[in-house]
Structure 1
Amino acid sequence: MNERMNHPFTIPISVLDLAPIMSGSTIADSFQRTIQLAQHTESLGYNRYWLAEHHNMPFIASSATSVLIGHVASQTSTIKVGSGGIMLPNHAPLVIAEHFGTLETLYPGRIDLGLGRAPGTDQKTAQALRRANGSTGDDFPDLLEELRGYFNPELTPNQTIRAVPGEGLNIPVWLLGSSGFSAQLAGSLGLPFSFASHFSPNNTLGALDLYRNSFQPSDSMEEPYAMLGVNVIAADTDEEAERLATTLKQQFINLIRGKEAPLQPPVDDMNDIWTPREKAALDQQLGASIIGSKETVKRKLHQFIQQTEADELMVISQIYDHSARLYSYQLVSEIFNEE
Structure 2
Amino acid sequence: MGRKIRLSILDQSQIRRGSNAREAILESVDLVKHADKLGYTRYWVSEHHNFTLLAGSTPEVLIAHLAGETERIRLGSGGIMLPNHSALKVAENFRMLETIFPGRIDLGIGRAPGGDRYTAHVLNPSNEFDERAFIQQIKDLRGFLNDSNEPGTVHEKIKAIPQAPTVPELWMLSSSGGGSQLASYFGTALSFAQFINPFGGPEAVERYRTNFKPSASLSEPYAQVGIFAFCSEDEQKVRRWQIEMDARILNIEKGLTTPPPSYEEILQTEYTAAEQDRILYNRDRMICGTPQQMKQKLQDLADRYDVDEIMVATICDQHEDRLKSFELLAGIEW
State the Cα deviation string for residues 231-280 of structure 1 (Å, max 9, x = none).
11111133321202333222212112211123554448557153331231
Partner of residue 307, structure 1: 304
- Secondary structure (helix, strand or coil) at the match of 1:193 reads strand
Residue type matched to 1:330 in 2?
A: E
Residue type matched to 1:162 in 2?
A: K
Question: TM (normalized to structure 1)?
Answer: 0.92
Name the stretch that deviates more: 220-229 or 175-184: 220-229
Distance 1:103 1:274 in 2: 46
Distance 1:92 1:27 in 2: 26
Instruction: Quickly say closer, same or farther: Cα 1:135–1:42, change in 2 above 3 A.
Output: same
1:282 is displaced (CA, Å) by 2.9
Residue type matched to 1:279 in 2?
A: Q
1:225 is displaced (CA, Å) by 0.8
Is 1:95 aligned with 2:89? yes
Aligned pair count? 331
Partner of residue 251, structure 2: 254
Distance 2:135 2:267 in 1: 42
Residue 2 (structure 2) aligned to one of 2, 7, 23: 7
Residue 128 (structure 1) aligned to one of 118, 122, 128: 122
Is 1:210 aligned with 2:211? no
Is 1:69–1:81's contact at 8 Å kept on the other side of the alignment? yes
How do 1:60-71 residues align onto structure 2 when only pairs under 5 Å count? 60-71=54-65
Partner of residue 112, structure 1: 106
State the Cα deviation string for residues 81-108 of structure 1 (Å, max 9, x = none).
0000000011000110111111111111
Distance 1:258 1:267 in 2: 22
Counting aligned pairs with the same residue, the percent is 36
Distance 2:299 2:262 in 1: 29
How do 1:98-247 residues align onto structure 2 when only pairs under 5 Å count? 98-154=92-148, 156-157=150-151, 158=153, 159=155, 160-166=157-163, 169-247=166-244
State the Cα deviation string for residues 187-224 of structure 1 (Å, max 9, x = none).
12221100001121112122112211111222222321
Residue type matched to 1:241 in 2?
A: V
State the Cα deviation string for residues 289-339 of structure 1 (Å, max 9, x = none).
11111121112112111222113110111111000000110111111xx23
Question: TM (normalized to structure 2)?
Answer: 0.93
- Secondary structure (helix, strand or coil) at the match of 1:154 reads coil
Distance 1:33 1:23 in 2: 14
| Superposition RMSD in Å | 1.8
Residue 36 (structure 1) aligned to one of 15, 30, 37: 30
Distance 1:233 1:300 in 2: 11
Residue 272 (structure 1) aligned to one of 269, 272, 276: 269
State the Cα deviation string for residues 54-101 of structure 1 (Å, max 9, x = none).
111111111111111111111111110000000001100011011111
**Structure 1, unpaired ranges of 5+:** 1-5
Distance 1:208 1:270 in 2: 38
Is 1:46 aligned with 2:43? no
Partner of residue 321, structure 2: 324
Instruction: Quickly say closer, same or farther: Cα 1:111–1:333, change in 2 above 3 A.
Output: same
- Secondary structure (helix, strand or coil) at the match of 1:139 reads helix
Instruction: Quickly say closer, same or farther: Cα 1:332–1:295, change in 2 above 3 A.
Output: same
1:285 is displaced (CA, Å) by 3.0
State the Cα deviation string for residues 10-58 of structure 1 (Å, max 9, x = none).
1311000001011111100000000000001111100000001111111
1:7 is displaced (CA, Å) by 2.7
- Secondary structure (helix, strand or coil) at the match of 1:229 reads strand
